Amino acid sequence: MLTDLDNYDCPLRLIEDWLGQDKTANPNFIFRIAVREVEAWLMADRENLAHFLGIPLQYIPQESDNLIDAKATLINLAERSRKRELKSDLIPKKGSTAKQGSNYNGCLAQCLQTWRLEKAMRVLPSLARAHHHLSQFTP
């Protein structure tokens, strides 16, 4: 299971809240937390994201793991795009209470088609740790 740290101040608190005291109930259950949000992992391949959004590379943050709200940052970056359909997918409609567009996940799934894991892991320690733990898993 992959989740975001979001508003928790540390991963241990989130784990305790979600899983309680028995964190090893099933040895085949892998629980990983993106620090702070999984969108930071997507932004770690800056060149790919800039190309996907159709915006200059300089707009993509270099330290995405330090972003308090990576999802909001990604949506703000999408607002700079000239790709109308992409903007419609990622950005919530004006007046909406939604935090993201109606096809947010589908649109980001398209971006992941060209996303470079190796490049992103060199930039983000939290992603490298998650990858290491997943690659070591044996059911």
pLDDT tens for residues 23-54? 666 778 888 887 778 899 999 999 999 999 99
Q: For the whole model, what pTM was predicted?
A: 0.82
Tell me the C-alpha distance between 118 and 98, whole Å. 33
- Per-residue pLDDT of 54-91, as tens digits, reads 999 999 999 888 888 999 999 999 999 999 999 999 99
**Element spanning 34, H or E:** strand 32-34
